[in-house]
Amino acid sequence: MNSPLAENFHSAFATHQGVNDLPWLAAHRQSAFVQFQEAGFPTRRHENWKYTDVSRITKTGFVTADATHNVIQADDLDSLKFNAENSHELVFINGQFSAEHSNTGSLPDSVVLGSLRDALVNTPALLESSLNQCLDSNNHVFAALNTAFFNDGAFIYVPENIVIEDPIVVYFVSTSTEAKLTIAPRNLIVLGKNAQANVIESFHGLKDVVSFTNTITEIETADGAILEHYKVQQENIDSFHIGGTHLKQHRNSRVESHSISLGGAIVRNDIVTELADEGAEIILNGLYMGNGRQHVDNHTLVNHSRPNTRSDENYRGVLDGRAQGVFNGKVIVHKDAQKIEAAQSNANLLLSDHAEIDTKPELEIYADDVKCSHGATIGQLDKNMLFYLRSRGLDEETAKSLLTFAFAGEVISRIKFAPVREQLEFTVGGRLPDAELIKANLNAAKKIEAR
């Protein structure tokens, strides 16, 4: 408990946390902080943190961001936005909502889209009934920490039968090069019966920023609701990111989750879902790419609580240099949850002799009439494919880039929302050597397809 970061949190909580909060929120914060104090930061002795050492984060004396940190140059912001013509945009600078840079566009009156902090003032009853309801902070200490300290985040409430066609894009940008900030965004997405929305969370850090983002998103989808949820993590290589997406899905609701991790020194994503009623379904797609000494850890947990629920998971990783990857995919089929389907696949490409992946599928099945599959692969680039490409005149680097890109493209191509997919194609292509050729080829292929 005596790490510099824990001490900072301790004094921050003692001095100002909870002072201006609504009583019910102050109570959540209080009990979450107690949970955090009791558990402390995890060490590698914890099963869920066996392969990820957070001491580099906790040894750094990050300080909590405040309202003075709400500044960004318009150019800096524009450069990282998706090229989406029609979208509802929320922008958070160092965790602070920026009304100036946000544009929620036109929406039906019954929809709430904006800052969680504003919503606490304007629609407190709605939040009281839904905030902190999908979260098991006993088992997720960083989630408890987020509850104790979150300042703001996106609140998205789509009532019954409302369909929001245009995507909702939420940008989180870390900009402070002076103070090392810890930022705790808290997002809440509530979809009513048969409501539909597409939400993109995009995390960025400007050059030379060292930050620690501890983000939580809670999602509740009522009967028949449909959500496409993207999380794109491209903070810079010196930053730390720990994030959790916690879902509760009701009857016949369908969630498609795409989790893309490209940046960061240490990155950890937890996705925890409860398929709480019959017909609920989740698709989990993931891509993680690491180089240098990057460490990226993805933990997913799917609870099939009721019969006839379905999950389909497909995660891919590309690791180069001395990068380390971790994949832990847990599926629990609860008692009497018959006729469920759960498929899981994790494929990894190691590009160097020093890159590492620890991958672990975990299935706990307490029902007897289920259809479950899982598979994990770790491989290198295929020598025959490499030779084929080289025998056609491509140099070795380009051939490797193309094959790596193709491997990652398996996940990227599943992304339905074109601006995100295209930006990722360029970003991922750009991380590979000789990217210009790949980009040129992408453009050429697009032109050809367009004809």
Partner 1 sequence: MLSIKNLKASVDGKQILKGLDLEIKAGEVHAIMGPNGSGKSTLANIIAGRNGYTVDSGEIIYEGKDLTEMEPEIRAREGIFLAFQYPVEIPGVNNVYLLKAAMNAIRKHRGEAELDAFEFLALVKEKMKVVNMKEDLLNRAVNEGFSGGENKRNEIIQMALL
Q: Which residues bind partner 1 (CB under 8 A)?
A: 382-385, 387-396, 398-399, 402-403, 405-407, 409-410, 413, 437-438, 440-445, 447-449, 451
* Nearer to partner 1 (CB atom), residue 136 or residue 382: 382
* Nearer to partner 1 (CB atom), residue 346 or residue 401: 401
* Nearer to partner 1 (CB atom), residue 242 or residue 424: 424
What 80-84 contacts at long range (C-beta under 8 Å, 24+ apart), as own/partner pairs, is 80/171, 80/173, 80/202, 80/204, 80/234, 81/169, 81/171, 82/169, 82/200, 82/202, 82/419, 82/420, 82/423, 83/419, 83/422, 83/423, 84/167, 84/169, 84/417, 84/419
Minimum Å distance from CB 99 to partner 1?
42
The closest alpha carbon to 360, from 43, 47, 46, 55, belongs to: 47
The closest alpha carbon to 59, from 13, 6, 14, 10, belongs to: 6
Minimum Å distance from CB 373 to partner 1?
20
Minimum Å distance from CB 282 to partner 1?
25
Minimum Å distance from CB 402 to partner 1?
6
* Nearer to partner 1 (CB atom), residue 121 or residue 440: 440
CA atoms within 13 A on the CB side of 265: 14
Minimum Å distance from CB 384 to partner 1?
5
* Nearer to partner 1 (CB atom), residue 207 or residue 392: 392
* Nearer to partner 1 (CB atom), residue 366 or residue 387: 387
Work out the number of other CB atoms within 10 angstroms of the CB of residue 52. 21
* Nearer to partner 1 (CB atom), residue 106 or residue 391: 391
Minimum Å distance from CB 347 to partner 1?
11
Minimum Å distance from CB 313 to partner 1?
19
Minimum Å distance from CB 436 to partner 1?
11
Are the CB atoms for 262 and 286 separated by under 8 Å?
A: no
Work out the number of other CB atoms within 10 angstroms of the CB of residue 436. 11
Minimum Å distance from CB 286 to partner 1?
17
* Nearer to partner 1 (CB atom), residue 112 or residue 424: 424
Q: Which amino acid is at 282?
A: I
* Nearer to partner 1 (CB atom), residue 123 or residue 441: 441
